[in-house]
Amino acid sequence: MNLKQLNLPMHNFTSEDLLQYLYNEASTEKAAAIGVALLSDWSLREKLEMMKGAQAELNSVKLLSPRKQTLDNILNYAEKSIEAFSEKA
The verdict on residue 2 lying in a domain is no
Residues 10-69: tens digit of each pLDDT:
568 999 999 999 999 999 999 999 999 999 999 999 999 999 999 999 999 988 888 999
pTM: 0.60
Q: CA 69 to CA 8: how far, in whole Å?
A: 53
The verdict on residue 9 lying in a domain is no
Query: CB burial class (10 A; 0-12, 13-18, 19+) of residue 48?
Result: buried
* Structural domain count, the chain: 1
Nearest to 51 by CA among 26, 3, 14, 2: 14
The verdict on residue 76 lying in a domain is yes
18 in Cβ contact with 34 (< 8 Å):
yes
Calculate helix-pair angle for 28-40, 42-60, nearest 10 degrees: 120
Q: CA 73 to CA 51: how far, in whole Å?
A: 35
| Domain of residue 51, residue span | 15-88
